[in-house]
């Protein structure tokens, strides 16, 4: 089904979401094959604002002149102090090295990972220290552009759905309600999430590849 057909499906299934989409900017699919780079960016952006993540990513890239690409061997060769000077926490510095090591071992092969089920993909990535379910979902949504991923645990999605549907629940009750609402969006929950993120005010945590 085409991108426009997906928007029509979401709009017909959920008029509130349809109105949000109509008022937003068009979001086109932009998958890319560099899962390693996408995974590094996802780790950098964890639990901080979009603006802060962009600044730290820029400083991180500056460690790899002239083109700014963090080749795995170069990442592994950096000291913790060098990574922390770029604005990374000690914990995140360790996570980036773990990702680089995983890639060096050939475990981030695009063709293989795109053939996995959602659950198998998540299990494969969460074997990397520091990579959780949220990070795996962000890669599925943005690096792979898989159409039907929903991240009920994402703070941005929660805030946008609270606003759009006037939800008052919190915690597990909120996530359960979100999952029920999102059932109507299948099989295009990824696109719905992207429009929800877009609806948020600037500065709210949004995945860096939006």
Is 32:141 a contact under the CB 8 Å cutoff?
no
Is 151:141 a contact under the CB 8 Å cutoff?
yes
Enter the pTM of the model: 0.81
136-182 confidence digits (pLDDT tens): 998 999 888 889 999 999 989 999 999 999 999 999 999 999 999 99
Count CB-CB contacts under 10 A for residue 115.
10
Q: Could you tell me if 160 and 130 lie in one domain?
A: no
* Cα separation, 208 vs 204, whole angstroms: 11
Q: Could you tell me if 112 and 21 lie in one domain?
A: no
Q: Could you tell me if 17 and 39 lie in one domain?
A: no
Q: Could you tell me if 157 and 114 lie in one domain?
A: no
Is 95:130 a contact under the CB 8 Å cutoff?
yes
Q: How confident is the model at residue 209 (pLDDT cuts 50, 70, 90)?
A: very low
Is 52:39 a contact under the CB 8 Å cutoff?
no
For the residues of 131-150, what is the DSSP string, one character each? --HHHHHHIIIIIS--TT--
For residue 20, the enclosing domain spans 3-29+150-198
Query: Euclidean distance between the first and final Cα of the chain, in Å?
Result: 22
Q: 60 in a domain, yes or no?
A: yes
Collapsing DSSP to helix, strand or coil, 203 comes out as: coil
Of 14, 81, 145, 154, which one is the catalytic site residue?
Answer: 154
66-110 confidence digits (pLDDT tens): 999 999 999 999 999 999 999 999 999 999 999 999 999 999 998
Q: Could you tell me if 106 and 46 lie in one domain?
A: yes
154 in active site: yes
Query: For residue 202, what pLDDT is reported?
Result: 42
Is 42:146 a contact under the CB 8 Å cutoff?
no
Let me know if 76 is exposed, middle or buried by CB neighbors in 10 A (0-12, 13-18, 19+). Answer: middle
The share of the chain scoring above pLDDT 70, in percent, equals 95
**What is the count of structural domains for the chain?**
2
Q: Is the peptide bond before 187 cis (omega within 30 degrees of 0)?
A: yes
Query: For residue 201, what pLDDT is reported?
Result: 61
Q: 56 in a domain, yes or no?
A: yes
Q: Could you tell me if 45 and 129 lie in one domain?
A: yes
């Amino acid at each position: 089904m085409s991108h426009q057909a997906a928007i029509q499906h979401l709009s017909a299934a959920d008029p509130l979401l349809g109105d949000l989409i109509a008022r937003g900017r068009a979001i086109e699919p932009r998958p890319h094959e560099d899962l390693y780079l996408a995974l590094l960016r996802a780790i950098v952006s964890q639990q901080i604002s979009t603006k802060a993540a962009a600044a730290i990513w820029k400083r991180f890239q500056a460690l790899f002149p002239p083109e700014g690409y963090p080749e795995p061997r170069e990442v592994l060769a950096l000291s913790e102090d060098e990574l922390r000077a770029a604005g990374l926490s000690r914990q995140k510095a360790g996570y980036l090295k773990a990702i680089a090591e995983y890639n060096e071992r050939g475990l981030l092969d695009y063709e293989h990972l795109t053939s996995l089920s959602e659950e198998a993909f998540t299990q494969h990535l969460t074997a990397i220290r520091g990579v959780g379910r949220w990070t795996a979902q962000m890669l599925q949504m943005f690096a792979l552009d898989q159409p039907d991923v929903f991240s009920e645990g994402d703070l941005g999605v929660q805030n946008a759905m609270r606003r759009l549907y006037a939800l008052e629940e919190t915690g597990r009750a909120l996530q359960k309600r979100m999952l029920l609402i999102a059932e109507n969006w299948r099989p295009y929950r990824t696109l719905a999430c992207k429009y929800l993120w877009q609806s948020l005010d600037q500065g709210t945590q949004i995945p860096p590849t939006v």
